[in-house]
Structure 1
């Protein structure tokens, strides 16, 4: 498994994968040395993430190969269908998957998403519109939603 550490506006991201696809993209809460030579199998992921942060990419085109249960993979696949700039509640996601009673299991699978940003778990919010749990931290979730917002918050200064 190849890996790369890249700088993003939200911290250092660790990307892992091989010829079968990208296995994980996680944001770290600590500093580690950045990768100077990106492994070839990770180049597209690095390039597309940089485009995303420059607001030049709204949809990722990567071969993904995350590890997880069949249920987790089903949830992660549904997350990919949430459009850029839109949000969905955990309840609505559960309904989309065919079982509104599975909301806790859906939320747990959402929290185990190993593909930060590419599988947009940050687009899932509470039914009341609140920013609920996010493995990368609520400050990052808020930042990502603001980046994707069709109406940017105006600064007074």
Structure 2
């Protein structure tokens, strides 16, 4: 018998607008930018709980990210979706801060250069934006395309990553 996960959420304010954080006891399962385009991601019913440990940890790390003091997240993740969607997200975690890849490059990395559309479809359903960095995937020409959180927010995130400032001893 399958046990159904309990989902908890909180909403935080960020430079890209309000973000809904959703977690299970296993880890973060959703980071949703409150943009009208993000309705494509199906989200579970969740209970409001701003004291859930994973949500607190996620908020802290996101604040550090937006303050340009964090490049890598170390939050436990609870991926939901098909086996292919999960595989795409796992590969996506390897796209380094401050870099971009194309949909084609991601498909090649998955071992099937013809799976460009399937990769795009999987990214379209990525429920953990920013931390699973679908904003780092661009069109073949380098054009900003296909971000469910909105192209404006994609641009903000990529610009933030290009202007990272290494913390000094005074910041630590």
**Same-fold status (TM-score > 0.5):** yes
1:55-97 Cα offsets, whole Å, 9 max, x none, are 1110000110021100000000111000000000110110001
- Per the alignment, do residues 117 and 151 of structure 1 end up closer, same or farther by CA in structure 2, a change over 3 Å counting? closer
Provide the aligned C-alpha RMSD in A.
1.8
Shift of 1:37: 4.1
Relative contact order, higher structure (CA 8 A, sep 6+)? 2
Where does residue 100 of structure 1 map in the other structure?
A: 113
> Are 2:23 and 1:17 aligned?
yes
Question: How many residues matched?
Answer: 148
Match of 1:138 among 128, 135, 151: 151
Determine helix, strand or coil for the equivalent of 1:74. helix
Structure-to-structure mapping, 1:1-157, within 5 angstroms: 1-29=7-35, 37-149=50-162
What are structure 2's unaligned runs of at least 5 residues?
1-6, 37-47, 166-172
Determine helix, strand or coil for the equivalent of 1:16. strand
TM-score, length-normalised on structure 2? 0.81
**Regions of 4+ moved over 4 Å:** none
Is the 1:2–1:41 Cα contact (8 Å) retained in structure 2?
Answer: no
Shift of 1:18: 2.3
Where does residue 3 of structure 2 map in the other structure?
A: none
Cα distance in 1, alignment partners of residues 75 and 64 from structure 2: 13
Cα distance in 2, alignment partners of residues 8 and 38 from structure 1: 18
